[in-house]
Amino acid sequence: MFPEFVHSLAEHYAHLKAFHGCRPVSLSSYYEHGLQGQDADQLVLQFQAMFPEVPATDLNAAIGSVGDRSTRERGAIWLVGDDREMIEQYGHYIIQGSEYLMALAAHLGVSPRGEDYRFLLRERGIPTVLEVDVPIEIVQWRDIEEVAKMVLSVWGQEVTKRRVGSTPSPCYVIRRTIDAQYIRNHTHPDKIPDPHRGYIQYRNRQRSCDMCAADTATEDAGAARTGT
Protein backbone atom coordinates (compact mmCIF):
# COMPACT_ATOMS: atom_id res chain seq x y z
CA MET A 1 0.00 0.00 0.00
CA PHE A 2 2.86 2.40 0.82
CA PRO A 3 4.34 2.27 -2.72
CA GLU A 4 0.94 3.19 -4.20
CA PHE A 5 0.70 6.12 -1.83
CA VAL A 6 4.15 7.36 -2.87
CA HIS A 7 3.16 7.06 -6.53
CA SER A 8 -0.07 9.02 -6.07
CA LEU A 9 1.76 11.69 -4.12
CA ALA A 10 4.36 12.04 -6.88
CA GLU A 11 1.60 12.26 -9.49
CA HIS A 12 -0.57 14.68 -7.58
CA TYR A 13 2.03 17.35 -6.79
CA ALA A 14 4.07 19.25 -9.36
CA HIS A 15 6.48 20.76 -6.80
CA LEU A 16 7.79 20.24 -3.30
CA LYS A 17 8.41 23.31 -1.17
CA ALA A 18 11.96 23.39 0.17
CA PHE A 19 14.49 25.77 1.68
CA HIS A 20 18.19 26.23 1.03
CA GLY A 21 20.53 28.01 3.44
CA CYS A 22 23.52 29.91 2.08
CA ARG A 23 25.73 32.96 2.54
CA PRO A 24 26.29 34.44 -0.93
CA VAL A 25 27.99 37.74 -1.65
CA SER A 26 25.26 38.58 -4.18
CA LEU A 27 21.92 36.93 -4.93
CA SER A 28 21.55 38.08 -8.51
CA SER A 29 23.22 34.97 -9.95
CA TYR A 30 20.57 32.77 -8.28
CA TYR A 31 17.86 34.81 -9.94
CA GLU A 32 19.66 34.65 -13.29
CA HIS A 33 21.19 31.19 -13.43
CA GLY A 34 19.21 29.30 -10.81
CA LEU A 35 20.50 27.26 -7.93
CA GLN A 36 23.55 25.36 -9.09
CA GLY A 37 25.12 22.34 -7.51
CA GLN A 38 28.35 22.32 -5.60
CA ASP A 39 31.40 23.18 -7.68
CA ALA A 40 34.55 22.57 -5.66
CA ASP A 41 36.82 24.42 -8.12
CA GLN A 42 34.69 27.55 -7.85
CA LEU A 43 34.58 27.26 -4.07
CA VAL A 44 38.36 26.95 -3.87
CA LEU A 45 38.69 30.16 -5.93
CA GLN A 46 36.21 31.84 -3.60
CA PHE A 47 38.19 30.66 -0.58
CA GLN A 48 41.44 31.99 -2.08
CA ALA A 49 39.81 35.36 -2.75
CA MET A 50 38.70 35.53 0.88
CA PHE A 51 41.98 34.38 2.38
CA PRO A 52 44.81 35.31 -0.01
CA GLU A 53 47.28 35.03 2.88
CA VAL A 54 46.83 31.25 3.19
CA PRO A 55 49.95 29.60 1.66
CA ALA A 56 49.22 27.37 -1.36
CA THR A 57 50.74 24.35 0.40
CA ASP A 58 48.33 24.72 3.33
CA LEU A 59 45.36 25.22 1.04
CA ASN A 60 46.32 22.19 -1.05
CA ALA A 61 46.63 20.11 2.11
CA ALA A 62 43.14 21.25 3.13
CA ILE A 63 41.77 20.38 -0.33
CA GLY A 64 43.41 16.96 0.00
CA SER A 65 41.91 16.42 3.45
CA VAL A 66 38.44 17.13 2.14
CA GLY A 67 39.24 14.18 -0.09
CA ASP A 68 36.72 12.70 -2.47
CA ARG A 69 34.05 14.99 -1.10
CA SER A 70 34.58 17.38 -4.00
CA THR A 71 33.67 14.66 -6.49
CA ARG A 72 31.03 12.95 -4.33
CA GLU A 73 29.19 16.18 -3.70
CA ARG A 74 29.82 17.72 -7.09
CA GLY A 75 26.64 19.17 -8.53
CA ALA A 76 24.64 18.48 -5.36
CA ILE A 77 22.26 20.94 -3.70
CA TRP A 78 20.96 20.30 -0.23
CA LEU A 79 17.51 21.53 0.87
CA VAL A 80 15.16 20.98 3.78
CA GLY A 81 11.36 20.95 3.76
CA ASP A 82 10.77 23.37 6.65
CA ASP A 83 12.14 26.90 6.89
CA ARG A 84 12.01 26.92 10.70
CA GLU A 85 14.04 23.72 10.85
CA MET A 86 16.50 25.18 8.32
CA ILE A 87 17.12 28.12 10.67
CA GLU A 88 16.93 26.33 14.01
CA GLN A 89 18.95 23.22 13.20
CA TYR A 90 21.06 23.85 10.14
CA GLY A 91 21.94 27.50 10.74
CA HIS A 92 25.65 26.93 10.04
CA TYR A 93 24.88 26.94 6.29
CA ILE A 94 23.20 30.33 6.66
CA ILE A 95 25.87 31.75 8.96
CA GLN A 96 28.99 30.34 7.26
CA GLY A 97 27.92 29.16 3.82
CA SER A 98 28.75 26.04 1.88
CA GLU A 99 29.70 22.78 3.57
CA TYR A 100 32.81 22.59 1.38
CA LEU A 101 34.06 26.03 2.48
CA MET A 102 33.44 25.03 6.09
CA ALA A 103 35.41 21.81 5.59
CA LEU A 104 38.40 23.73 4.17
CA ALA A 105 38.18 26.25 7.00
CA ALA A 106 37.95 23.51 9.63
CA HIS A 107 41.06 21.81 8.24
CA LEU A 108 43.05 25.07 8.27
CA GLY A 109 42.01 25.68 11.88
CA VAL A 110 43.22 28.96 13.31
CA SER A 111 44.60 31.88 11.29
CA PRO A 112 47.93 33.58 12.13
CA ARG A 113 45.79 36.34 13.72
CA GLY A 114 44.44 33.69 16.09
CA GLU A 115 40.97 33.46 14.60
CA ASP A 116 39.14 30.29 13.64
CA TYR A 117 38.80 30.27 9.83
CA ARG A 118 35.22 29.00 10.15
CA PHE A 119 34.31 32.16 12.03
CA LEU A 120 36.17 34.30 9.49
CA LEU A 121 33.80 32.93 6.82
CA ARG A 122 31.20 35.10 8.55
CA GLU A 123 32.87 38.30 7.46
CA ARG A 124 31.70 38.06 3.87
CA GLY A 125 28.31 37.46 2.25
CA ILE A 126 24.72 37.76 3.35
CA PRO A 127 23.00 35.09 5.47
CA THR A 128 20.13 33.90 3.30
CA VAL A 129 17.37 31.32 3.10
CA LEU A 130 16.04 30.64 -0.41
CA GLU A 131 12.49 29.37 -0.78
CA VAL A 132 12.29 27.01 -3.72
CA ASP A 133 9.45 25.07 -5.38
CA VAL A 134 11.42 22.02 -6.47
CA PRO A 135 9.86 20.32 -9.53
CA ILE A 136 8.94 16.85 -8.32
CA GLU A 137 10.47 15.19 -11.38
CA ILE A 138 13.98 16.15 -10.26
CA VAL A 139 13.49 14.88 -6.69
CA GLN A 140 15.03 11.47 -5.96
CA TRP A 141 12.52 8.73 -5.34
CA ARG A 142 13.82 7.98 -1.84
CA ASP A 143 13.32 11.65 -0.91
CA ILE A 144 9.70 11.45 -2.13
CA GLU A 145 9.29 8.33 0.05
CA GLU A 146 10.47 10.39 3.04
CA VAL A 147 7.82 13.02 2.28
CA ALA A 148 5.21 10.27 2.06
CA LYS A 149 6.29 8.87 5.45
CA MET A 150 6.07 12.32 7.00
CA VAL A 151 2.59 12.92 5.56
CA LEU A 152 1.39 9.54 6.87
CA SER A 153 2.92 10.16 10.29
CA VAL A 154 1.29 13.58 10.66
CA TRP A 155 -2.02 12.19 9.35
CA GLY A 156 -1.81 9.23 11.76
CA GLN A 157 -1.24 11.56 14.71
CA GLU A 158 -4.20 13.72 13.65
CA VAL A 159 -6.55 10.75 13.26
CA THR A 160 -5.56 9.01 16.49
CA LYS A 161 -5.26 12.36 18.32
CA ARG A 162 -1.97 11.11 19.72
CA ARG A 163 1.02 13.33 19.38
CA VAL A 164 4.31 11.49 19.29
CA GLY A 165 6.33 14.66 18.98
CA SER A 166 7.36 16.61 15.95
CA THR A 167 8.19 14.74 12.77
CA PRO A 168 11.49 15.85 11.24
CA SER A 169 11.06 17.43 7.83
CA PRO A 170 12.39 15.69 4.75
CA CYS A 171 15.76 16.73 3.36
CA TYR A 172 16.44 16.76 -0.37
CA VAL A 173 19.65 16.26 -2.29
CA ILE A 174 19.15 17.53 -5.83
CA ARG A 175 21.86 16.72 -8.34
CA ARG A 176 21.13 19.22 -11.06
CA THR A 177 20.56 22.94 -11.44
CA ILE A 178 17.23 24.18 -10.16
CA ASP A 179 16.13 26.84 -12.65
CA ALA A 180 15.71 30.41 -11.46
CA GLN A 181 11.96 30.35 -12.14
CA TYR A 182 11.52 27.93 -9.21
CA ILE A 183 13.02 30.35 -6.68
CA ARG A 184 9.93 31.78 -5.03
CA ASN A 185 11.38 34.05 -2.41
CA HIS A 186 14.30 34.64 -0.12
CA THR A 187 14.79 35.95 3.41
CA HIS A 188 17.71 37.10 5.56
CA PRO A 189 16.85 35.79 9.04
CA ASP A 190 17.52 38.06 11.98
CA LYS A 191 18.30 35.52 14.72
CA ILE A 192 19.89 32.16 13.98
CA PRO A 193 20.87 29.56 16.61
CA ASP A 194 24.58 28.95 15.97
CA PRO A 195 25.43 25.22 15.83
CA HIS A 196 29.16 25.95 16.02
CA ARG A 197 28.75 27.97 19.20
CA GLY A 198 26.48 25.71 21.21
CA TYR A 199 23.32 27.07 19.54
CA ILE A 200 23.66 30.50 21.12
CA GLN A 201 21.93 33.11 19.04
CA TYR A 202 23.75 34.61 16.07
CA ARG A 203 22.49 38.11 15.24
CA ASN A 204 22.48 38.74 11.53
CA ARG A 205 23.35 42.36 10.69
CA GLN A 206 23.09 41.85 6.91
CA ARG A 207 19.36 42.06 6.39
CA SER A 208 19.16 43.13 2.77
CA CYS A 209 20.81 42.29 -0.54
CA ASP A 210 20.98 43.36 -4.18
CA MET A 211 17.80 41.36 -4.92
CA CYS A 212 15.86 42.76 -1.93
CA ALA A 213 16.51 46.17 -3.48
CA ALA A 214 15.30 44.85 -6.87
CA ASP A 215 12.11 43.46 -5.26
CA THR A 216 11.41 46.79 -3.59
CA ALA A 217 12.01 48.66 -6.85
CA THR A 218 9.55 46.36 -8.68
CA GLU A 219 6.97 46.78 -5.93
CA ASP A 220 7.38 50.56 -6.04
CA ALA A 221 6.95 50.56 -9.81
CA GLY A 222 3.84 48.36 -9.43
CA ALA A 223 2.43 50.67 -6.77
CA ALA A 224 3.10 53.69 -8.96
CA ARG A 225 1.31 52.08 -11.91
CA THR A 226 -1.80 51.20 -9.93
CA GLY A 227 -1.70 54.58 -8.22
CA THR A 228 -1.77 53.07 -4.73
Smallest separation, CB 104 to Zn ion (Å) = 26
CA separation, residue 120 to residues 55, 102, 108, 194 (Å): 17, 10, 12, 14
Q: Which residues contact residue 105 at a Cβ distance below 8 angstroms, ignoring those fewer than 6 apart? A: 47, 96, 116, 117, 118, 120, 121
Beta strands in 11-162 (DSSP E): 15-22, 77-80, 128-135
- Say how far apart CA 194 and CA 197 lie, in whole Å: 5
Smallest separation, CB 178 to Zn ion (Å) = 18
Smallest separation, CB 39 to Zn ion (Å) = 23
Smallest separation, CB 17 to Zn ion (Å) = 19
Smallest separation, CB 210 to Zn ion (Å) = 7
- Say how far apart CA 90 and CA 95 lie, in whole Å: 9
- Say how far apart CA 74 and CA 77 lie, in whole Å: 9
Q: Which residues contact residue 24 at a Cβ distance below 8 angstroms, ignoring those fewer than 6 apart? A: 30, 97, 125, 126, 128
Q: Of the two residues 108 and 211, which places its CB atom closer to Zn ion in the complex?
A: 211
Q: Of the two residues 169 and 204, which places its CB atom closer to Zn ion in the complex?
A: 204
The H helix count followed by the E strand count for the chain is 11, 7
Coil, helix or strand at residue 199? coil
Smallest separation, CB 24 to Zn ion (Å) = 10
Q: Of the two residues 28 and 166, which places its CB atom closer to Zn ion in the complex?
A: 28
Smallest separation, CB 228 to Zn ion (Å) = 23
Q: Of the two residues 80 and 126, which places its CB atom closer to Zn ion in the complex?
A: 126
Q: Of the two residues 134 and 209, which places its CB atom closer to Zn ion in the complex?
A: 209
- Give the footprint of Zn ion on this chain (CB under 5 A): 209, 211-212
Q: Of the two residues 26 and 166, which places its CB atom closer to Zn ion in the complex?
A: 26
- Say how far apart CA 200 and CA 213 lie, in whole Å: 30
Q: Of the two residues 79 and 209, which places its CB atom closer to Zn ion in the complex?
A: 209
